[in-house]
């Protein structure tokens, strides 16, 4: 385990985790991931990792230094990810017709899929993080936030709930017109950056040509409508679907 991955750089209001603390995350850094991270550092994509944002069964997310910017490094786990869930989502995506049930190939495709979805969404004007690069199971992207990562919508009440929901609807409409369905949209996958919604976690997003696209789209609609009503904005599933498809 190479501690040199972690840059002990003081950032305003961002607590830098002591080197010893990272020993608890050693499972993230097998030799395969170490090689990828060293390669990214040699190519000056990142200077080093700073601190963890979240540690999950599917992926581990870190802040990292890249020149004078702070970026996000998302590392999809090869051993403990929900492989069955990943495969069930990606096997019907027409962009991955040759995918099989080999774990590593599915995880690599999953990371590539998020990269491609973010690129397409950005090109269509959807407010999502800027994707910088993808290498196997590692994704480097823009950090949404000023000095620290922005909170999820589930954790912060917007100052103007109606405007926030209307902005989410706008982002959903742009995404739909781009031919994409998020597939897991909820306040867990929407960040609140200065009262503007930013859509994240697009690895499960698929095209409208996917035979399951309508099912995923309906689920997104139900989740967002429920969230709107929870924060005091009256919105039915039918109304939201009509607005997104307008």
Positive/negative CA dihedral, 39, 42, 46, 49: positive
Six token digits for residue 163: 């405007």
> Among this protein's residues, is 184 annotated catalytic?
yes
Instruction: Round to whole Å and give the CA distance between 178 and 180.
Output: 6
Distance (Å) of CA 216 to CA 78, 89, 197: 25, 10, 20
> Among this protein's residues, is 47 annotated catalytic?
no
Catalytic residue among 184, 195, 210, 220: 184
What letter does residue 175 receive in the DSSP assignment? H
Q: What angle is formed at CA 99 by the lines to CA 95 and CA 103, rounded to 5 degrees?
A: 130
* Sheet containing strand 69-76, strands side by side: 48-55, 59-66, 69-76, 138-142, 131-135
Q: Centre a 10 Å sphere on the Cβ of residue 67 and count the other Cβ atoms it contains.
A: 10
Catalytic residue among 93, 167, 201, 210: 201
In 159-245, alpha helices (H): 161-177, 213-230, 237-245
Instruction: Round to whole Å and give the CA distance between 188 and 106.
Output: 24
Query: Looking at the annotation, which residues are catalytic?
Result: 184, 201
């Amino acid at each position: 385990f190479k501690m040199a991955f972690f840059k002990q750089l003081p950032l305003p209001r961002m607590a830098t985790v002591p080197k010893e603390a990272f020993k608890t995350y050693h499972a993230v850094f097998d030799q395969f991931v170490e090689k990828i991270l060293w390669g990214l550092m040699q190519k000056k994509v990142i200077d080093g990792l700073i601190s963890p944002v979240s540690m999950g069964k599917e992926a581990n997310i870190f802040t990292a230094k890249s020149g004078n910017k702070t970026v996000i490094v998302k590392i999809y786990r090869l051993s403990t990810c929900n492989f069955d869930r990943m495969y069930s989502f990606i096997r019907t995506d027409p962009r991955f017709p040759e995918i099989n049930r080999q774990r590593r190939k599915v995880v690599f495709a999953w990371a590539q899929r998020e990269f491609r979805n973010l690129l397409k969404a950005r090109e269509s004007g959807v407010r999502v993080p800027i994707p910088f690069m993808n290498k196997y199971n590692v994704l480097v992207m823009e950090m949404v936030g000023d000095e620290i990562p922005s909170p999820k919508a589930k954790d912060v009440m917007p100052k103007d709930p109606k405007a926030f929901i209307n902005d989410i609807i706008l982002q959903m409409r742009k995404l739909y017109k781009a031919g994409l369905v998020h597939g897991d949209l909820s306040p867990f996958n929407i960040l609140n950056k200065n009262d503007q919604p930013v859509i994240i976690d697009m690895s499960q997003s698929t095209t409208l040509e996917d035979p399951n696209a309508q099912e995923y789209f309906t689920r997104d609609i139900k989740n967002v409508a429920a969230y709107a009503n929870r924060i005091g904005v009256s919105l039915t599933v039918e109304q939201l679907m009509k607005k997104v498809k307008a």
